[in-house]
Amino acid sequence: MKIAVLPGDGVGPEVVAQALRVLQCLDLKFETEMALVGGAAYEAQGHPLPPATLALATAADAVLFGAVGDWKYDKLERALRPEQAILGLRKQLGLFANFRPAICYEQLTHASSLKPELVAGLDILIIRELTGDIYFGQPRGRRKAPDGAFAGADEAFDTMRYARPEIERIAHVAFQAARKRGKKLTSVDKANVLETFQFWKDVVTQVHTEYPEVQLEHMYVDNAAMQLVRAPKAFDVIVTGNMFGDILSDEAAMLTGSIGMLPSASLDANGKGLYEPSHGSAPDIAGKDIANPLATILSAAMMLRFTLNQTSAAERIESAVRSVLGSGLRTADIWSAGGTQVGTRAMGDAVVAALARPGTKTITTER
């Protein structure tokens, strides 16, 4: 099993380091190879996604990703900004299905932004389409002023676009996921305003005929945003487009107590995936041993389950995380739930200690 490790920027290297420590405590044999990505790659090689990094990610069985971005790069042309690295990886690797589970652990019900009774036992799955929508629509751009700057531009535009095969394949993924859970799927759209999402709604409805055992409901995105904070446990699996999924999954993250608790998996048609925490690079706290590594550790567990077929190892990591939360240890973002506040490294130490059998041997090289 070969894992490409792309720590990235900000807190990315800190949280990825803890996830790697956890993986190394499992009795599995795997190889990891690191490469630069995002702002770190731009500084070293002039591009956020260098060819060598893309080649490594393509050749690997799975990708463990940290985070990219920093405010200091905001004035770069868009093609060179750190965020283009993750968009490029999704597109080049065909990672079209983003799984973002939002689980409120029993010990963190008081850290949620909602009343405990609304989030106790919360376990929902948001499936976001990743390679279409307004993020990739063509043509796409801004009309620049003569000097090449945007400040004096007369117009800005991005186009929203979906093709039938793109909607069909994410719908099949969502129905199959719902079939394994509570057999309820909510498709989120804006069909009352956008032709793109009337098309989305029609295609999802057609795919539903192949999954009669799954209950399908359609919901406008503004209503879905409201229902997520009114009665989140009414949802089971949510499927939606790229932009709406980006927004709703971050909203759902706060129901769990912190976005620092939200892992994610981005999968291709064959189950190969890129695994990353849903939070960003947080440059304001980078290097301060503050960031919560649990989302990245749980993303590593998803990697073991979805791509590397190591379900028991994934369950061991998830059990260790529950044990650590049960012991009362908290990073700053979830400290409102009470307990003992610890830093990034100490939280990683605790998860490592909670694992029953340490000692995995790995071969690690750096690029």
Domain ranges (residues) in the chain: 1-118+256-367, 123-143+152-240
Q: Is 202 a catalytic residue?
A: no
Phi-psi domain of 366 (left: phi exceeds 0; alpha: psi -120 through 50; beta: other): beta
Predicted confidence at residue 363, as pLDDT, reads 37
Q: Which long-range contacts (CB under 8 A, 24 or more apart) does 353-358 make?
A: 354/319, 354/320, 354/321, 354/323, 354/324, 355/22, 355/25, 355/26, 355/316, 355/317, 355/320, 356/316, 357/25, 357/26, 357/27, 358/24, 358/25
Residue 360 has pLDDT above 60, yes or no: no
pLDDT bin (cut points 50, 70, 90) of residue 158 is: confident
Q: Which CATH number fits domain 1-118+256-367: 3.40.50.300, 3.20.20.10, 3.90.1720.10, 3.40.718.10?
A: 3.40.718.10
Predicted confidence at residue 359, as pLDDT, reads 42
Q: Which of 2, 91, 135, 158 is catalytic?
A: 135
Q: Is 268 a catalytic residue?
A: no
Give me 119's structure tokens: 């989030």
Computed over every residue of the chain, the mean pLDDT equals 91
Q: Is 222 a catalytic residue?
A: yes
CA distance linking residue 265 with residue 271, whole number of Å: 10
pLDDT in tens, 56-81: 999 999 999 999 999 999 888 888 99
String of DSSP letters for 300-333? HHHHHHHTS--HHHHHHHHHHHHHHHHTTEE-GG
Q: Which of 211, 246, 275, 333 is catalytic?
A: 246
pLDDT in tens, 91-136: 999 999 999 999 999 989 988 889 999 999 999 999 999 999 998 8
Predicted confidence at residue 367, as pLDDT, reads 31
Q: Is 70 a catalytic residue?
A: no
Predicted confidence at residue 78, as pLDDT, reads 86
pLDDT in tens, 259-285: 999 999 999 999 999 999 999 999 999
Q: Is 190 a catalytic residue?
A: yes
Q: Which of 70, 133, 190, 201 is catalytic?
A: 190
pLDDT bin (cut points 50, 70, 90) of residue 141 is: low
CA distance linking residue 137 with residue 149, whole number of Å: 22
pLDDT in tens, 195-250: 999 999 999 999 999 999 999 999 999 999 999 999 999 999 999 999 999 999 98
The pairing of strands 329-330 and 340-341 is parallel
Residue 138 has pLDDT above 50, yes or no: yes
Q: Which of 250, 268, 289, 349 is catalytic?
A: 250
The arrangement of secondary structure in 123-143+152-240, i.e. its CATH architecture, is 3-Layer(aba) Sandwich (3.40)
Residue 150 has pLDDT above 70, yes or no: no
Closest residue by Cα to residue 363 from 1, 15, 7? 1
Contact, 344 vs 14, CB < 8 A?
yes
CA distance linking residue 8 with residue 65, whole number of Å: 7
pTM > 0.85:
yes
Residue 327 has pLDDT above 80, yes or no: yes
Predicted confidence at residue 151, as pLDDT, reads 62
The one-letter code for the residue type at 161 is R
pLDDT bin (cut points 50, 70, 90) of residue 357 is: very low
pLDDT in tens, 172-193: 999 999 999 999 999 999 999 9
Predicted confidence at residue 325, as pLDDT, reads 94
Residue 166 has pLDDT above 80, yes or no: yes
Predicted confidence at residue 144, as pLDDT, reads 58
